[in-house]
Amino acid sequence: MRLHGYWRSSTSYRLRIALALKGLEYEQVEVNLLGAEQRSEEYRRLNPFGGVPALEVDGRIYAQSMAILEWLDERFPDRPLLPRDVEDRFAVRELAMAIATELHAPLNLPVLAYLKHDLGHSQDEIDVWYRHWIARTFEGVEARLAQRGAGEFLLGAPGMFECVLMPQLYNARRFSCDLGAFPHLTQIEAACREHPAFAAAHPDLQAARPS
């Protein structure tokens, strides 16, 4: 099993967490997004979407991180990322998809680069953009968590939701977002930080991280 990804990519980060939670061993293959390696002809033969991550298993290539999370749970059912109960499964998917679809699209690297280099926005303006979308989505997620009375984890143990949440909390702190209005999210964050799977997957501990 080989994970083609980038050390600070949120989608690569979520897969590192999931693989660690499931106790699956894998080799990391760094794809340097800042060097545009994801757009190279060689990489596009591997992943025609031209992004990260791509998971290589037994000669097959799997792309799109949310689909890979579901595939991992079906292919390796031990230590499930999704609960058995249908309503709980919906709760996990609802919150995970809110973050994956409402945050990743406007905040990924190509969008931020377009805002800066093509549209001429300053870094301060881009930071405002970033904080706006983080707050807008986190408000809905926080409200849902409050309705459920969520504790350290959404459903008592970390799973798909936490895999998707933690990279965006990492990004939120990188961009100095005010998280004071999100006590349920930061409570889950604190619990995840103490979990070895999340610690091992953290961007700052990846071998490819620049010194």
pLDDT > 70 in the chain, percent: 100
Of 27, 61, 79, the one marking the end of a domain is: 79
Same domain, 144 and 159: yes
Separation between Cα atoms, residue 32 and residue 18, nearest integer Å: 21
Give the distance from CA 175 to its chain's centroid: 16
Is position 60 within any domain?
A: yes
Dump pLDDT digits (tens) for 68-85. Answer: 999 999 999 999 999 999
Of 28, 59, 79, the one marking the end of a domain is: 79
Dump pLDDT digits (tens) for 102-135. Answer: 998 899 888 998 999 999 999 999 999 999 999 9
Number of domains, the chain: 2
Same domain, 99 and 16: no
Separation between Cα atoms, residue 13 and residue 11, nearest integer Å: 5
Say which CATH number the domain at 123 has.
1.20.1050.10
Same domain, 119 and 73: no
Same domain, 55 and 132: no
Domain residues for 109? Answer: 86-197
Same domain, 156 and 101: yes
Say which CATH number the domain at 66 has.
3.40.30.10
Instruction: Enter the pTM of the model.
Output: 0.95
